[in-house]
Amino acid sequence: MKPRIRPGIGLLAAPLPIIALAAVPAFAATPDAQSPTALRGDVVAAVSHSVRTGDVAANQRISVAVSLAQQDTAGLDTFLSQVADPSSPNYQHYLTVDQFAQRFGASPQTVAKVSAYLAAQGLQVGEVSANRLTIEASGTAAQVQKAFNTSLATYQDNKDGHSYYANTSEPSLPAEIAGVVSDVSGLNNYAKYTHFNTKSTAQATPDATPKAPAGLSPTSAKAAYNLTSTVNAGYNGKGVTVGLLEFSGFQQSDVAAYDKAFGLKVSAPTVVNAGGGTTDTSGQDEVDLDIQVVQALAPGATIKVYEAPNSDAGETAIYSKLVSDNVPVISISWGTYEAGETPSNRVAVDADLKEAAAQGQSVYAASGDSGSDDAGNGGTSVDFPAADPWVTGAGGTTLTQGSGGAWKGETAWSGSGGGVSSFFNTPSYQKKVNSGTYRSVPDVASDADPASGWAVYTGGAWAEYGGTSASAPNWAAFTAVYNSEAKAKGKPSFGFANSRIYTLAGSSSYKSAFHDVTSGSNGAYSAGAGYDKVTGWGSYNGANFLKAELG
């Protein structure tokens, strides 16, 4: 996934069980059940504009993640509608991971059947997610090709010249297995996810001196979004975990230098590996930005950095891990244009995001830094996962501060990703402001212009960063602050974010709880009063938002 960073350009799930091969029942099927059935939409789009250069070596190790179909999808849709509806008796009555698995996860029998099939093909069966919707497995390329009835070839992309491997055709499985499988990820290593940060043109400053370069500091950021008094009162995110979804590693020394420069007394972030984790550090500036924004605004929060390989298998594994761990607040700064996601992967990730909403997890995703043309093809398009209705898409603004760093104004940043989804229907919570067939993006916004960006210490130097990658962790940090105050006052946590945001924005408290952004554009769309396709409902006015919701 592509990171959206512009350098000033319920109950915790039990540990995931390991399925021992000896305990997997033998796979047996009738002749009809053995008939191969293709899984549609499971070939990476890049193959169509790439040159085949050879075959993957038969002994190359390949890791895959098999996504299983949810049970009772109609019942889940009904539940999600109710849990997001303030007029429903089920409003904000969220499920635990175990409750979700029992109602909507695959049955233990289905898990055993699919596991047995994989083992029968010679694959090593690994972790099964707590929601019983993802099975990890690995084997040689020869075993993987046999298991999924496809070939793995090497390619060179004509657009950017990079090399990768991918399946040459849609994978297929015996009919009785294919009927319960929604996606097989890991058949390619085409790294398609990018981060959305932009670095300012100002010169980076080496050494973590007390004086950082121009850019938002913890003090000025809290002042801008009216959180100073709240954090000083002790509502600083303490007791709340914020999970950061990352496809890159980072250097703890950079984070420590940032904390030292600003005198922050915070806990060091911890790393949680998904899909084997990653040794790639090419996106460390993104990870540093995410961590430092959360620490700046919610210094008491516990930060867990979830790391996975930058691949579709890594994508499947990391979303599955985040919902299985029931992380209460999640920030995502990586994405891809909607059509760049394979249909089957989109279904698999959407299933996890539905679970997140059902469990009351607050999920924020950067909406992209390419304005109204996320695909970069001259048309209009939006970014995934921000376009998913169970995610809160975070757009970008240009921030102006007054005396003492106080908020003075915000205009729409030209790079703010926004527009209309091509795949997701208009959700019920958005229908009052969107009469169209498809969902509009983003939902909210905050500072993302690198010219008014954040001071970040990364790679041993200071720089100023913007991008909608700064907006997602900003909202995540605010949600951590909200949850810490809510807990102290005996009130419910933020929960599924779009439900709370749209309900408050539609009330008489809108003008005090939000900063409505009414000027600027992202290309095809312009900001205006109330909701718009550039900045959503706008940015939050911290203390006023909290007062309106928590008293």
Catalytic residues: 286, 290, 469
257 burial via Cβ count (<10 Å: 0-12, 13-18, 19+): buried
- Give dist(CA 500, CA 498) in Å, integer: 5
- Give dist(CA 217, CA 470) in Å, integer: 13
By C-alpha distance, which of 433, 448, 425 is closest to 536? 433
Rounded to 5 degrees, φ, ψ at 330 are -130, 135
Residue pair 170/38 in contact (Cβ under 8 Å)? The answer is yes
Residue pair 466/479 in contact (Cβ under 8 Å)? The answer is no
HEC per residue, 59-83: CCEEEEEEEECCCCHHHHHHHHHHH
* Three-state DSSP class for residue 528: coil
- Give dist(CA 387, CA 417) in Å, integer: 10
**What tokens does 280 get?**
């790639």
**What tokens does 30 get?**
């009738």
Place of tokens 């309106």: 548
**What tokens does 260 get?**
């030292």
Rg (CA), the chain: 23
**For the CA atoms of 396, 402, 404, 406, what is the dihedral angle to 10 degrees?**
-50
By C-alpha distance, which of 535, 540, 498 is closest to 515? 540
**Residue 466 β-bridge partners:** 6, 198
Residue pair 515/540 in contact (Cβ under 8 Å)? The answer is yes
Say which DSSP state 104 is in: H
**What tokens does 410 get?**
């915000």
Place of tokens 């928590």: 550
Q: How far is CA 514 from CA 196, 368, 421, 501, in A?
A: 24, 21, 24, 10
By C-alpha distance, which of 472, 524, 460, 457 is closest to 217? 457
Q: How far is CA 497 from CA 134, 171, 482, in A?
A: 25, 36, 12
Place of tokens 């048309």: 379
By C-alpha distance, which of 41, 49, 4, 8 is closest to 374? 4
By C-alpha distance, which of 372, 407, 397 is closest to 387? 372
